[in-house]
């Protein structure tokens, strides 16, 4: 399988035997239960992909790598836009409220974080205080005025919404791009750096 995975993709195929010998017991339990791992934004050796294992508790996050040829299934955030969580929670109500606007925004969007994990896997990951994590694939620039308009809509939701703009050169938080600071934090597999234009390739090559 060619390594074309993106940050926030959920992957199945990891087994307890593939985890490092020093993996915590809770990580072994999560993988044994059939949970997917999530692709991390980090460098990895050829034939491997950086992934993270989720535990039941918020602080239970384990970073490791997975062989690309071990991947059996991949679900991307944009495949979860219209999936439904049966539980009635602030996150699920917020997603239902925002879905029509996101569908009509002209960009590809997706659900990540705990909501994406539960939508894709069926394993309970959400609670009453959970945020709604979203991504917006923005191969072309999103004007800062447009970002502010989008943020105003997201801030009407019943729970806190954290949306990441996925540019060709990394991810930037919508809330930062909509703010007044001249430079914003762009995160990619190599580094996190302050930039004035997340879509400018010359700025990242400097």
Residues forming the active site: 131, 133
150 closest CA partner among 177, 132, 169, 116: 177
Distance CA 206, CA 203 (A): 5
The pair of three-digit structure tokens given for residue 97, joined into one six-digit string: 């409220």
- Look at the alpha carbons of 32, 38, 44, 48 in this order and tell me if their dihedral is positive or negative: positive
How are beta strands 161-167 and 132-137 bridged, if at all?
A: parallel
How are beta strands 108-111 and 73-75 bridged, if at all?
A: unpaired
């Amino acid at each position: 399988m060619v390594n074309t995975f993106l940050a926030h993709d959920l992957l199945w195929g990891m087994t307890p035997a593939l985890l490092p010998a020093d993996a915590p017991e809770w990580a072994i339990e999560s993988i044994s239960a059939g949970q997917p791992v999530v692709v991390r934004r980090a460098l990895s050796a050829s034939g491997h992909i950086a992934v993270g294992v989720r535990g039941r508790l918020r602080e239970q996050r384990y970073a490791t790598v997975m062989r690309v040829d071990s991947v059996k299934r991949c679900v991307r955030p944009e495949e979860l836009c219209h999936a439904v969580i049966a539980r009635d929670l602030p996150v699920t109500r917020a997603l239902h409220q925002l879905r029509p606007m996101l569908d009509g925004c002209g960009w590809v969007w997706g659900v990540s974080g705990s909501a994406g994990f539960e939508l894709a896997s069926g394993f309970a990951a959400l609670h009453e205080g959970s945020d709604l994590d979203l991504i917006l694939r923005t191969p072309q620039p999103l004007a800062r005025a447009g970002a502010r308009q989008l943020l105003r809509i997201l801030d009407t939701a019943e729970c806190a919404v954290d949306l990441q703009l996925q540019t060709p050169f990394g991810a930037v938080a919508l809330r930062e791009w909509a703010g007044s600071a001249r430079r914003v934090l762009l995160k990619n597999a190599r580094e996190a750096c302050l930039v004035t234009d997340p879509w400018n390739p010359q700025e990242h090559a400097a």
